[in-house]
């Protein structure tokens, strides 16, 4: 009778009580989720709890592979390797799980399990449910100042909702105003654009791909380009420019106007001279 009682007391002194908050965590595809967990113990040292694992709830918990662990003897499946991370800290008693690049197949129930080194006892608490929903966020296109024809402007494709722990997003600019630009320009979140008069009213799209989850979202805006006679059209694409600058066109136009004026003045002078010659000739005939 005494031995079973001592065994029960010893087991109780090593009991681990993970605490979850909340019981349900929702996350959109491609983003990150934190499953908070903190464990408590009674009358035992931290050395008794050297490792821990997060497992996905299944029909056979004893055979199910962990999704995150700091136990070198356990292997993590390839589909979650690198995306699920156990935030293990014995000093702060942290056993939280970080999920990055969330995928729809990650939806399910998860539980945390301690691995005592000196006491062979598995602990199965109530699972925590993860719900992965479709991504509803879209990028924001920020235009820094008015778009003026011939003047370079910076446009930014912003994704403030993206997870800093996730795989970096891939950006792509699409539209008539950027069709002549190279990928080094259009595959950056910041676009340097020199709009032309013909770009007014056209659409510009920023497409964002979250490669960790294979999710694509985009945002489209309509360009409002103003025209200035003093502006210059400079092609910012790599390589030599294919168009003439407006100052050169203005010089040519001024030259043509000047030549036309000179021709007109010359014609008027010839007209008056011919008239004077006719008058003089008529006067001479009258005297004779």
Tens of pLDDT along 4-17?
333 333 333 334 55
What are 10-57's pLDDT values in tens digits?
Answer: 333 334 556 656 789 999 999 999 999 887 765 455 555 568 889 888
The pLDDT > 70 percentage for the chain reads 64
109 pLDDT more than 70: yes
97 pLDDT more than 80: yes
What are 54-63's pLDDT values in tens digits?
Answer: 988 875 555 6
141 pLDDT more than 90: yes
pLDDT given for residue 181 in this prediction: 87
Measured between alpha carbons, how far is residue 3 from residues 7, 10, 43, 79, 174 in Å? 6, 10, 19, 46, 76
pLDDT given for residue 216 in this prediction: 97
Prior bond to 22 cis, omega within 30?
Answer: yes
125 pLDDT more than 80: no
Token readout for 136 is: 């509803």
pLDDT-wise least confident of 74-83, 192-201, 202-211: 74-83
78-102: average pLDDT: 90
Q: Cβ contacts of residue 69 below 8 Å, gap of 6+?
A: 51, 52, 53, 54, 76, 86
Token readout for 39 is: 């464990």
Please give the Cα distance from 116 to 267 (Å, whole number): 109
Which domains are assigned to the chain? 17-133 (2.60.40.10), 140-247 (2.60.40.10)
143 pLDDT more than 60: yes
pLDDT given for residue 239 in this prediction: 33
DSSP secondary structure letter of residue 239: S
Please give the Cα distance from 169 to 30 (Å, whole number): 10
Predicted structure pTM score:
0.67
159-168: average pLDDT: 94
C-alpha 79 chain-centroid distance = 23
What are 224-272's pLDDT values in tens digits?
Answer: 999 865 544 333 333 333 343 444 455 445 566 566 667 777 776 666 6
Measured between alpha carbons, how far is residue 83 from residues 34, 135, 144 in Å? 12, 18, 36
Name the burial class of residue 6, with classes exposed (0-12), middle (13-18) and buried (19+) by CB atoms within 10 angstroms of its CB: exposed
pLDDT given for residue 224 in this prediction: 94
């Amino acid at each position: 009778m005494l031995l079973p009682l001592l065994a029960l007391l010893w087991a109780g002194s090593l009991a681990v009580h993970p605490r979850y908050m909340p019981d349900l965590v929702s996350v959109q595809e491609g983003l990150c989720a934190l499953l908070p967990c903190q464990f408590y113990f009674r009358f035992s040292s931290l050395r008794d709890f050297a490792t821990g694992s997060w497992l996905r709830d299944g029909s056979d918990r004893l055979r199910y592979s962990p999704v995150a662990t700091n136990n070198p003897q356990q292997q993590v499946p390839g589909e979650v390797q690198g995306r699920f991370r156990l935030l293990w800290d014995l000093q702060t008693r942290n056993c939280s799980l970080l999920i990055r690049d969330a995928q729809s197949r990650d939806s399910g129930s998860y539980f945390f399990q301690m691995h005592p080194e000196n006491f062979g006892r598995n602990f199965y608490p109530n699972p925590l449910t993860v719900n992965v929903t479709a991504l509803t966020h879209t990028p924001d296109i920020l235009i820094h100042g008015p778009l003026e024809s011939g003047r370079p402007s910076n446009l930014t494709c912003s994704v403030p909702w993206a997870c800093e722990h996730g795989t970096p997003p891939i950006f792509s600019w699409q539209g008539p105003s950027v069709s002549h630009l190279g990928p080094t320009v259009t595959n950056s979140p910041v676009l340097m654009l020199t709009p032309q008069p013909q770009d007014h009213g056209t659409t510009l799209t920023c497409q964002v791909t979250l490669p960790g989850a294979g999710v694509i979202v985009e945002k489209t805006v309509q360009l409002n380009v103003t025209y200035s006679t003093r502006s210059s059209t400079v092609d910012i694409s790599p390589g030599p420019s294919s168009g003439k600058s407006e100052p050169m066109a203005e010089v040519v136009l001024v030259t043509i106007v000047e030549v036309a004026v000179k021709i007109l003045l010359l014609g008027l002078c010839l007209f008056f001279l011919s008239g004077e010659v006719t008058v003089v000739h008529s006067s001479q005939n009258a005297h004779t």
